[in-house]
Structure formats: structure tokens, C-alpha cells
Amino acid sequence: MAMTGAVALIMTGCAMSITPYQPLSAGSRVSGGYSDLRIDETHYRVSFAGNRLTSRERVESYLLFRAAELTLLKGYDYFIIEDREVEHQIQREFQRDLLYDPWFANRYGYWRPYWRYYRVGAGWYHWYPYYGDPFWADRYSVRTIERFEASADIALGKGTRPNGNLRSFDAREVSERLSPQIEYPEQ
């Protein structure tokens, strides 16, 4: 009983969640977050990195929210996205089935699986698992892990945003629209 409780405690402690809206730091409980780099007084590079559970849409929304938040913090009214990039990393993990032992270990001696069978109209066949038969082939569990990181170079501006520029955003409007979707880290 105590062992079951310990396992449950460990599993809940290791549970992952999507990346919350937080600064990117090594000491945070959940990996990922935002960062920004000042290029000059009105130009910044803003980035947001998600973990393996964070969707591309969330990463891009959090990037846009950070750009709006940074614009307002610096005392500006709008920002223009001058350059934007989304990095998509795919990692595949292969794990062999723990119950599969291709050589049947030493405990079986020289015994190996081998069967002969008769197929009507085709004659006698033999079956040996290591000739690539799909019913006995190496069993693998394949897990695909995707991570997204978005970055944008933004220019900050004061006054009303340029209407003709489709890459310009009113910082207050973006902040108001996206703030209900933002999840902050648990304290």
C-alpha cells in the first residue's frame, strides 16, 4: 500500500503540462517561456519556446502577447512585426518492446522458434521469426515529440498604428484579446 502511494506521488510530481506564460529560465518547473532581446531603443527580438505539449498556435499567441506586453511596458502604442520565424523541431524516440527478446536469452538453450506448415495449393512452408516476418518482427514503440519556438523582430511606435501595414498591431487591443487565453504558472 505504501509503495502504491509512493508511485502515485512520484507520477503526479513528474506530470507535465503545457508551457505557461513565463520568462524563459532554467529554474522554472515547466520548460519553455518567453525572452526578449533589445536591438536598439525601438527594436526588439521577442521569442517564445514551448515544450512538447505546447501547440504551435499557443506558441504564436504567447509570442504576440509578449510583443504587446513589451510594447506597453516600454511606453509605446503599437508594434510592427518586421521579421517572423517559427522553428519546428521533431524528435522521434524508439523503444524496443521490453518483452521482446530476439535471441530468447540463454535460459532457452538452443531452442529457437521454427515451424513448418502446409498451405493448400502452395505446399510446405517454414516459418522462422528472424527472416522479417511481420508477425514476429522487432516490436518497437515509436513516440514523436514536437516542439515549437517562435521569434519575431518588432519595431515599436507611438500614436495611431499605420492602417496600410498588415504587420502592425495595436498593443492594447492585442493584449485585451489574448489575455483571457493566457495561462500563468502555478505558484
Mean pLDDT (the chain) is 82
For residue 1, give the C-alpha cell: 500500500
pLDDT of res. 44: 98
CB contact at 8 A, 22 and 34: yes
pLDDT of res. 125: 73
d(CA 47, CA 62): 9
- Name the residue with higher pLDDT: 8 or 82: 82
Per-residue pLDDT, averaged over 141-163, amounts to 92
Per-residue pLDDT, averaged over 39-63, amounts to 96
d(CA 99, CA 102): 10
pLDDT of res. 79: 97
d(CA 35, CA 169): 19
Per-residue pLDDT, averaged over 43-55, amounts to 96
| 69-109 per-position pLDDT tens digit | 999 999 999 999 999 999 999 999 888 766 555 554 555 55
Residue 11 pLDDT greater than 50, yes or no: no
pLDDT of res. 12: 45
Per-residue pLDDT, averaged over 124-145, amounts to 65
d(CA 153, CA 80): 8
Residue 154 pLDDT greater than 90, yes or no: yes
Outline where the chain has alpha helix (H). Answer: 2-14, 56-73, 171-178
